[in-house]
């Protein structure tokens, strides 16, 4: 039982919640760009939220399932379909053997996810299935997916259902808890106070946009040039996903899933975890605004998202039990 990659799409990889506990050794964490979309896709098919998924961009991959499977799509909406039938996002579906899934147009977002009940039959590297392309490790053979790759699955859905036709499960999820159109909230970083007063005001009032040079390592921004009140070399220090660094040209970069473990550029802020899904789904030339917040508010929003995911998990279990009873 497997998925065959007919066309690989743009930078399609296997990702999970990331490789934790190894940054002190210089190993970047990788993981899904949009953790919440990955977790929700897993929840819909009753996987553990940390189960590895397929992450993809547009143009998206063309996939063939050699055996029946329960799947769910999350994150970006790329108009998935099979044999002319639309496949919804945020709703689990049963697909029969030899189903081919393709994505025809971008409706919303930048990065999509596909979960399969039971997950992929792969080997972990340093306690994670996430693909580390630079180290050529993790994921599927340590690389982006290519045409002809065959990824084995752990679970045979045909053992759990008598239905042999494509069908949409009678429950779905709302992702609005994880995305918003408000300014991105950040905790001021160690070097924020070293910005000039004018630059601090600009960071909190000006419009920034995402440059084409952005990738999974970081989103490069275009906006008014920011300045430090005193230009000094700083010692390389720890950074994380969401760290806003000030580059020598006065522009900013926001570190993302494949970020380095340390950096020597000023850390002027750290985008809160609850707002990272919103940032992950923004694309080239999209506008971004920033505002400061507190650690207490960041924790409150994070806990709210965790509670939403927990309620979704319980609801999906009840719905699946009811579905099997009927």
The CATH number given to whatever domain includes residue 236 is 2.40.100.10
Q: What is the DSSP string of 155-180?
A: --GGGT----S-EE-S-----GGG--
Structural domain of 83: 2-175
Q: What's the number of domains the chain is made of?
A: 2
Average pLDDT over residues 32-54: 97
- Residue 161: which pLDDT band, with cuts at 50, 70 and 90? low
> How is residue 14 annotated by DSSP?
E
Q: What is the CA radius of gyration of the chain?
A: 21
pTM assigned to the model: 0.95
* 326 within a domain of the structure (yes/no): no
Both 13 and 72 in one domain: the answer is yes
Residues 6+ apart with CB under 8 A from 53: 14, 15, 16, 32, 38, 41, 42, 113, 114, 115
3-state secondary structure of 142: coil
* 256 within a domain of the structure (yes/no): yes
Q: Among 11-15, 57-61, 202-206, 312-316, which is the least confidently predicted range?
A: 312-316
* 313 within a domain of the structure (yes/no): no
pLDDT for the residue 160: 57
* 301 within a domain of the structure (yes/no): no
Pairwise CA distance, residues 96 & 157, whole Å: 9
**Tokens coding 124:** 């972990």
Average pLDDT over residues 146-158: 87
Both 260 and 133 in one domain: the answer is no
User: 196-253 pLDDT, tens per residue?
Assistant: 999 999 999 999 999 999 999 999 999 999 999 988 878 899 999 999 999 999 999 9
Both 141 and 251 in one domain: the answer is no
Both 153 and 266 in one domain: the answer is no
* 314 within a domain of the structure (yes/no): no
* 304 within a domain of the structure (yes/no): no
Q: What is the DSSP string of 281-312?
A: T--TT-EE-EEE--HHHHHHHHHHHHHHHHHH
């Amino acid at each position: 039982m497997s998925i065959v990659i007919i066309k690989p799409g743009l930078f399609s990889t296997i990702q999970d919640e990331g490789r934790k506990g190894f940054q002190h050794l210089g190993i970047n964490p990788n993981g899904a760009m949009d953790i919440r979309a990955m977790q929700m896709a897993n929840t819909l098919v009753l996987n553990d939220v940390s189960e590895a998924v397929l992450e993809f961009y547009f143009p998206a991959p063309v996939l063939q399932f050699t055996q029946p499977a329960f799947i769910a799509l999350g994150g970006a909406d790329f108009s998935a379909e099979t044999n002319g039938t639309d496949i919804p996002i945020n709703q689990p579906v049963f697909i029969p053997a030899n189903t081919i899934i393709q994505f025809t147009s971008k409706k919303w977002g930048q990065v999509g996810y596909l979960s399969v009940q039971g997950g992929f039959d792969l080997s972990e590297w340093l306690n994670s299935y996430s693909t580390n392309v630079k180290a050529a490790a993790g994921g599927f053979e340590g690389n982006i997916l290519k045409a002809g790759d065959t990824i084995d699955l752990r679970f045979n859905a045909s053992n759990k259902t008598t239905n042999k036709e494509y069908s949409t499960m009678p429950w779905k999820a709302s992702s609005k808890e994880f995305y918003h159109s408000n300014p991105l909230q950040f905790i001021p970083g160690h070097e924020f106070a070293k910005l000039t007063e004018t630059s601090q005001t600009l960071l909190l009032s000006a419009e920034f946009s995402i440059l084409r040079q952005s990738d999974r390592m970081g989103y490069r921004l275009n906006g008014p040039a920011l300045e430090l009140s005193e230009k000094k070399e700083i010692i390389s220090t720890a950074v994380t996903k969401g760290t806003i660094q000030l580059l020598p040209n006065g522009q900013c970069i926001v570190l993302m899933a494949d970020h380095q473990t340390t950096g020597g550029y000023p850390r002027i802020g750290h985008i809160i975890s609850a707002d990272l899904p919103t940032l992950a789904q923004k694309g080239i030339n999209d506008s971004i605004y920033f505002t400061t917040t507190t650690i207490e508010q960041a924790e409150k929003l994070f806990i709210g998202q965790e509670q939403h995911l927990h309620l979704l998990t319980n609801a999906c279990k009840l719905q699946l039990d009811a579905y099997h009873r009927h």
